[in-house]
Structure 1
Amino acid sequence: MVKAKSNYDTVMEYAKSIVEGRKVACKEQIQGCQRFLNDLKNPAYDFRTEEAEFVINIIENTFVHQQGQKLDGSPLRGEPFLLEPFHKFQVYNLLGFYHKGTKIRRFKEAFIFIPRKNIKTSFAAALAWALGLLERKSGSKVYIVAAALKQSLESFNFINFNLEQMGEKENFRVIDNNQEHSIKGEIGDGSLFIQALAANPDRQDSLNCNIAIADEIHAYKTPKQYNIIKEAMKAYTNKLMIGITTAGDDMNSFCYQRLEYCQKILDGTITTPEAEAYFVFICKADEDENGIVDYTNPKVHEMANPAYGVSIRPDDIMNDALQAQNDPQQRKDFLAKSLNIYTAALKAYFNLDEFRRSDHQYHWSLEALAKLPIKWYGGADLSKLHDLTAAALYGRYEVEKGKEVDIAITHAFFPVVAAVTKADEDHIPLFGWQNDGVLTMSNTPTVHYDDVVNWFKSMKNMGFNIKLVGFDKKFGREFFLMMKRSGFKIVDQPQYFYRKSEGFRRIEAKAKEGQFYYLHNQAFEYCVQNVQAIEKTDDMIQYEKVDGDGGKSRIDLFDAAVFGAVQMLEDLSKSGTATTWLYGKKEA
């Protein structure tokens, strides 16, 4: 039964106005509000407002602003910290739903994804304080964690400031020095402990908490920085792990993968028990089918920024958008920080959305491809057998007159001995790729040539007509000979950039034209977005990893596909057909 309380009406109006289209919102916000309204009718849950009201009232009646100005220029310092409707919506979701007939809350984890300057860090601090008071009878331990201690101290200092404003600081033990930043106190029937931390997994194995706020998780270098805090909650039933962040520019990061996972929760693709226990609040600009954002449109600014017209000044954000039109670096930052659009690193050559858009037009399985009348050309990148290794088949198929699709079948190999370490340190989703069937784990410290040869054999046995394979034999003469002994025609393909340029340009052009298919292989996508390229004379191109030879990114599967494309093009030029297929166009 819902108590007659003004915040309930505010939250319901917020959700309904978005679902009904009366308030400008992005796709994910509409989905999130619809999820909330659906959940209210779900018989699996009880909806109770008491705890949500407690938290909202604690914040609004005890916290004040530390700094800032209103839109009219009047100072905010000392003014009551009043929550916006989108804040109250989040609190109602996090604390309102219980498993039917129990004291067990539904949501154990949350992902709050909003652009900067949308009253994010101060809300995180106030929420940490109020949640700590709410759970005081359980002996609340609250951690505020960020990649850098300086960021988590933003929230800690805001709480500390408000303790002084309340006149309550003498009732708490506050440690604020180079060694520790914490607040501890006994509160009537319970206790409260709040600590600001840097996300350093090597020093946090003994942590124990029931509430944690992970701030700016786009800056986390490894998933372990997040997971070590999440693991610290196992002793509690009503635990709550909240990740709050703005977009970044690393599309291989933990945060970006978490964003994609949460988007799948909202669109109903993932419906596991873990997904049901995950609250998702995403505010970002909508993108069209080509991944383009209308970033000078004020409606787009409003849909991405829930505090538009409150802390986000419409004139200022429009001015930033117009400046971004003429400056690529500024545009990248504007999209990421003001519109919450993940952007590839500026050095990355390809637009991954072009590849995905092309790939999603086609849905052949391996079995179906094996039956098509296609000549396949192989490529392999075995330069570092202790690391990611790749093999590929490349072919072309005329789906209709005048439309020819290039197909890249790529497969990765990795030594199982190093897999756990590399997956954690370099944030490569190796085990996910293994589950998808696009990676083979070698049971040895290095990838065995046998594993790669056996992959080519398995493809041949499936029915693939493999005409020849290109490989630079200075990186593995043993592999070269093994392939020959296994009946494959393998040719030496030195890795000269002027030879690889042709294959690179072929893939680039076919992806742009929507005529490139890579079987939805996420490992291939990972490699594509790590490619950095330099234009040379005569349309030649030289490419490498975005972070250089010593970096953590990988491009091996893309490299293997390029080798296969080069062999296909060179074989076509030797075939005497009087045509060369280059850049996706037929030339006499």
Structure 2
Amino acid sequence: MSDAKNLDIVLEYARSIVEGKKVAGQEIIQACQRFLDDLENPEYEFRTKDPEFVIQIIERTFVHDKGEALDGTPLRGKPFLLEPWQKFIIYNLLGFWKAGTNERRYKEAFIFIPRKNGKTRFVAALAWALALLSRKSGATIYITAHALKQSKQAFEFILFNLKRMGEEDNFRILNNNQEHSISGDLGDGSIYIEALAANPDRQDSLNCNIAIADELHAYTRPKQYNIIKEAMKAYTNKLMIGITTAGDDMTSFCYQRLQYCKKVLDGTARDETYFVFISKADEDEKGNVDYTNPVQHEKANPNYGVTIRPEDILNDALQAQNDPQQRKDFLAKSLNVYTSAMNAYFDIHEFRLSDRKYNWTLEELAKLPINWYGGADLAKLHDLTAAALYGEYQDVGIIISHAWFPVVAATAKAEEDGIPLFGWMDDGWLTMTNSAVTNIAEVVEWFKRMKRMGFRIKQIGFDRKFSHDFFRGAKKAGFKLIDEPQYFWRKSQGFRRIEQKAKLGKLYYLHSDAFEYCVQNVHGIEKTDGLIQYEKIDENRRIDIFDASVFACVRYLEDTDQAKAQSEWLKGGDSA
């Protein structure tokens, strides 16, 4: 390790964060602890040659193309020197090998950092250096983004440095409306770098060993990422790097990937091939951020004091405090905290905080001395179908939900609309019906199964449109069915009840990710007299599980109100 000029910098970075000498958010602390632990792990060998090669290639051959230092000094033409956090990432990606093999440990990476931390130029320099490192394998590297304009920024930075070095004549460069690529034969190997838009419809024939997917938060479909990842199956030492800033869609592929990576860091999900670097402000249990606190600004931004001017970000924070319409953008772009979509009605953090207070199992709920009310939202042909039970115990509203989707259409819909259907199936929240259209008999069977478990189901509310099969099956099974037409003035009472319970911390939905997904897609329109009309925020989203829960809650409210009214009437009659 005597030639490892940057190893001490990386070790100091990790240790100073773990020991609390350097300010960092919770996830960066976990990443640094993971690194230090892995240095002692006999499953891996730690080799410094490749990370040193990449760092030195970047710092010796690349310069800035624009920008200013904090004191206003122009940076154009100045050496592109990496910060300790960037060297830490490179050392992790390239330093660990499976013991006794020539196979690198990490095959995939998730790098999550706010805007203006030098992300795009770091991506470009890393792509160039990785191409040179893997040239003997015939390096093929794709830089992708949702929009070609974004991936071209990295490509143009590489091109700028090639021209400055006077090397452009040694490579074949295509930079036109059809293609943006750099290729060349280096004697002992070759390289090919191309900038692409993440368009899965035109990328089925791709083949690469390294890919960098930029701005993951803008990806509208998982396939935009997965099609690139699939392109590197022929390589042992492949590397798929996703790098992004937070967004405002908490049902997106990027957000789901963020949640998975958090589980990797805290040890609840084991994935030894996935490197994770999440730089963001810390949130409290309600999802709130002390966004005017400079400590949180530094936690979120690894380039704080380098490319991030402390006084500028503090000024932006104060503007966000005084102008609420600026707040979501500041949280997402400057502090890297995901926010709900602008037109989403609910704050999902309120639901999660309430749900985490309770931990009844399905078996325990079945034994509670309460009545349950059902709701069903049935698809016309081949879409999401949902059912739910609603009951209250000790003033806690309890929602038990399940969903169905025809397996024939599942893959296409999961890709097109970004619905995590297969994840829900794995977690038990959804059943794939083995048919081209939804099998309504399975919905009826779910209610029957819940009844056999011990749930006393008094009524089931449903919209009779597209529900003839359900009506016949449920009626035959002995359930009392109540027609629930889609009138907003009827559904408002169930909506408000669920909203109230969540805000009071008295709502439990068995930690269902599927229910949370639907809650985040609800857009509400306030009407007169406290009524509300709700719909999904976008045509490609789903709210069916929430809708079924509202139907069930309406049945609870109306039946218990009628029971109370009848009881009061009888008492009055007795006294007479």
Please tell me the root mean square deviation across aligned C-alpha atoms, in Å: 1.3
CA distance in 2, matches of 1:373, 1:314: 58
- Kindly indicate whether the alpha-carbon contact (under 8 Å) linking 2:5 and 2:52 is maintained by their aligned counterparts in 1: no
Match of 1:52 in 2: 51
Give, in angstroms, the shift of residue 465 of structure 1. Answer: 0.3
Alignment of structure 1 residues 386-535 onto 2, 5 Å? 386-398=382-394, 404-535=395-526
Alignment of structure 1 residues 73-84 onto 2, 5 Å? 73-84=72-83
Q: 2:38 matched to 1:42?
A: no
CA distance in 2, matches of 1:170, 1:478: 71
CA distance in 1, matches of 2:293, 2:567: 47
- Kindly indicate whether the alpha-carbon contact (under 8 Å) linking 1:99 and 1:106 is maintained by their aligned counterparts in 2: yes
CA distance in 1, matches of 2:564, 2:416: 50
Match of 1:112 in 2: 111
Structure 1 window deviating more from structure 2 (180-189 vs 150-159): it is 180-189
Closer/same/farther in 2, CA of residues 15 and 446 from structure 1, 3 Å limit: same
CA distance in 2, matches of 1:231, 1:37: 31
Structure 1 window deviating more from structure 2 (507-516 vs 30-39): it is 507-516
- Kindly indicate whether the alpha-carbon contact (under 8 Å) linking 1:385 and 1:448 is maintained by their aligned counterparts in 2: no
- Kindly indicate whether the alpha-carbon contact (under 8 Å) linking 2:58 and 2:80 is maintained by their aligned counterparts in 1: yes
CA deviations over 1:21-52 (Å, ceiling 9, x no partner): 11111000000000000000111111111111
Alignment of structure 1 residues 341-360 onto 2, 5 Å? 341-360=337-356
Match of 2:237 in 1: 238
Q: Which amino acid aligns with 1:503?
A: G
Q: Which amino acid aligns with 1:7?
A: N
- Kindly indicate whether the alpha-carbon contact (under 8 Å) linking 1:359 and 1:517 is maintained by their aligned counterparts in 2: yes
Match of 2:288 in 1: 292
Q: 2:27 matched to 1:28?
A: yes
Match of 2:92 in 1: 93
CA deviations over 1:500-545 (Å, ceiling 9, x no partner): 1111111011111111111111111110000010111111111110
Match of 1:568 in 2: 556
- Kindly indicate whether the alpha-carbon contact (under 8 Å) linking 1:469 and 1:488 is maintained by their aligned counterparts in 2: yes
Partner residue of 2:532 out of 535, 541, 544: 541
Give secondary structure in 2 for the equivalent of 1:276.
coil
- Kindly indicate whether the alpha-carbon contact (under 8 Å) linking 1:3 and 1:49 is maintained by their aligned counterparts in 2: no
Q: Which amino acid aligns with 1:388?
A: L
Give, in angstroms, the shift of residue 576 of structure 1. Answer: 2.5
Give secondary structure in 2 for the equivalent of 1:473.
coil
Give secondary structure in 2 for the equivalent of 1:77.
coil
Q: 2:547 matched to 1:559?
A: yes
Give, in angstroms, the shift of residue 579 of structure 1. Answer: 10
CA distance in 1, matches of 2:51, 2:470: 64
CA distance in 2, matches of 1:385, 1:193: 47
- Kindly indicate whether the alpha-carbon contact (under 8 Å) linking 1:391 and 1:452 is maintained by their aligned counterparts in 2: yes
- Kindly indicate whether the alpha-carbon contact (under 8 Å) linking 2:222 and 2:253 is maintained by their aligned counterparts in 1: yes
Match of 1:401 in 2: none
Give, in angstroms, the shift of residue 373 of structure 1. Answer: 0.7
Closer/same/farther in 2, CA of residues 242 and 579 from structure 1, 3 Å limit: farther
Give secondary structure in 2 for the equivalent of 1:494.
coil
CA deviations over 1:99-131 (Å, ceiling 9, x no partner): 112221111111100001101000000000001
CA deviations over 1:136-192 (Å, ceiling 9, x no partner): 111111111111111110000000000011111111111111111111111131111
CA distance in 2, matches of 1:479, 1:234: 45
Q: Which amino acid aligns with 2:289?
A: V
CA deviations over 1:353-394 (Å, ceiling 9, x no partner): 111111111111111111111100011111533211111110
CA distance in 1, matches of 2:98, 2:465: 62
Match of 2:306 in 1: 310
Structure 1 window deviating more from structure 2 (275-284 vs 447-456): it is 447-456
Give, in angstroms, the shift of residue 577 of structure 1. Answer: 6.4
CA deviations over 1:288-313 (Å, ceiling 9, x no partner): 01110011100000000000000001
Give, in angstroms, the shift of residue 225 of structure 1. Answer: 1.0
Runs of 4+ in structure 1 off by over 3 angstroms are: 577-580
Alignment of structure 1 residues 374-385 onto 2, 5 Å? 374-385=370-381
Q: 2:324 matched to 1:328?
A: yes
State the TM-score, normalized to the length of structure 2. Answer: 0.97
Alignment of structure 1 residues 266-281 onto 2, 5 Å? 266-271=265-270, 275-281=271-277
Give, in angstroms, the shift of residue 98 of structure 1. Answer: 0.8
CA distance in 1, matches of 2:322, 2:405: 43
- Kindly indicate whether the alpha-carbon contact (under 8 Å) linking 1:133 and 1:140 is maintained by their aligned counterparts in 2: yes
CA distance in 2, matches of 1:39, 1:539: 57
State the TM-score, normalized to the length of structure 1. Answer: 0.95
Match of 1:372 in 2: 368
Match of 1:175 in 2: 174
- Kindly indicate whether the alpha-carbon contact (under 8 Å) linking 1:329 and 1:346 is maintained by their aligned counterparts in 2: no
**Unpaired runs of at least 5, structure 2:** 569-576
Give, in angstroms, the shift of residue 6 of structure 1. Answer: 3.3
CA distance in 1, matches of 2:563, 2:420: 41
Q: Which amino acid aligns with 1:440?
A: T
**Unpaired runs of at least 5, structure 1:** 399-403, 581-588
Give, in angstroms, the shift of residue 496 of structure 1. Answer: 1.3
CA distance in 2, matches of 1:455, 1:314: 56
Amino-acid identity (%): 69
CA distance in 1, matches of 2:313, 2:114: 12
Q: 2:161 matched to 1:162?
A: yes
Structure 1 window deviating more from structure 2 (60-69 vs 362-371): it is 362-371
CA distance in 1, matches of 2:380, 2:28: 45
Match of 2:573 in 1: none
Give secondary structure in 1 for the equivalent of 2:372.
strand
